Amino acid sequence: MKSLNIGLIGYGGIGRVHAMAYRNIPFHYGLPAGAVNLVGVATSRAETARRAAQEIGCDDWTADYHELLARKDIDVVDICVPNHKHEEIIVAAALAGKHIYCEKPLAMSVAEGRRIVAAVEKTGVKTQLTFNFRFFPAITRAKQLIDAGFVGRVFSFRGRYFRSSYIDPDKPLSWRLSKEISGGGALFDLGSHILDTLYYLLGEFGSVQASLETLIKERPVAAGAAEKGPVDVDDLALLQLRMASGTLGQVEISRLGTGVANDMQFEIYGEKGAIRFRSQDPSWLEVYDTRDPDQPLGGMRGFRKLETVQRHAGAKSPDWSMPPGFVRSHAECQYQFLKAVAEDTAPSPTLAEGLKVQEIMEAAEISAKMGRWVAVTDLSTPEEAIE
């Protein structure tokens, strides 16, 4: 892979994860140390940008991301800023001719997402969204099995993403709890991941009926503060989904999943077999095959665990037998994008694919307000016209 220079825009928690992953890529694939270079970082304030550059080990830092975009030696920009800044930065990066890697979700709304996709497609730059769960080997294997017809016709599915990160009512307000900045709550933050996984495995979305709840309606304005402010995004999202194929399923999303640190899981049931996965047990994909002989015949029918572990094609380290991890999934997502840029091939998931997730999330928001099923195709009509 040819050497590529990356400019990082934003350096909060996820920006640090991306930086860690870039640093690890040469070790994973036996690449020269200079194959992946983080050469500059931009944040909203000079002092945080300077500290970020010290951590990353790059000389160029700035409080104005336009300065990074102006550098002719930067090939790729990685965008790790709050959601309300995505459109502005993506469009500017595309106009500057930079390939774009961006954190999920794509946008604040479908309208914004469509403008973003139109802008990048006009310039011809390559894009990818950070849906890193696709790059767990178990999920890659699930995709292979489904495409090969292992489950046959899909009867139903279930998806869930729970975290317990917001169960403390004294956890203070942050940008993730503001609709003006985040666009949405648990649905956007966690739901985008499980919805992309289902889109990746099962195809296009059709319609949704949803309930969204804000269970803790106000929080301290700052750590330890007596003053409280309103929370205007969802803590819990319950979705009934119908795929474009007609298949029905359920998705549950919560940031108040008491006792569940961080777990994304799905179950897919079909005429010939079934598949299930839990991110807290990421080394295995569980499968059930109806073609196995049943017990009275001395068979072995039942769910079995496939040893998917860390089987990333072409990887040299860590050893394939090691359990996969969160940062490793980010590294693989980033590596596959850089490889597509270097080799001039098509990356995935693109921002256009991220728009598919944006559409079903917005349909879910409309459904929760209107109390009925909403089809993705309804989004071509302004919301007020379908009340």
Q: Report which DSSP code applies to 344.
A: T
Q: Which CATH superfamily is domain 134-320 in?
A: Dihydrodipicolinate Reductase; domain 2 (3.30.360.10)
Here the tokens at position 27 are 């070790």
Fold: same for 4-131 and 134-320: no
Burial of 292 (0-12, 13-18, 19+ CB in 10 A): middle
* pLDDT mean over 256-272: 97
pLDDT tens digits, 151-191: 999 999 999 999 999 999 999 999 999 999 999 999 999 99
Domain 4-131: CATH architecture, name and number where available: 3-Layer(aba) Sandwich (3.40)
- Residue ranges of the domains in the chain? 4-131, 134-320
Predicted confidence (pLDDT) per residue in 292-344, tens digit? 888 776 778 899 999 999 999 999 999 999 999 999 999 999 999 999 999 99
Tell me the C-alpha distance between 228 and 222, whole Å: 8
Q: In what order do the strands lie in the sheet with 248-254?
A: 304-307, 284-289, 273-278, 262-270, 154-163, 248-254, 236-243, 205-213, 374-375
Structure tokens at 156: 């139903």
pTM of the entire predicted model:
0.95
pLDDT of 266 reads 98
Mean pLDDT of 274-279: 98
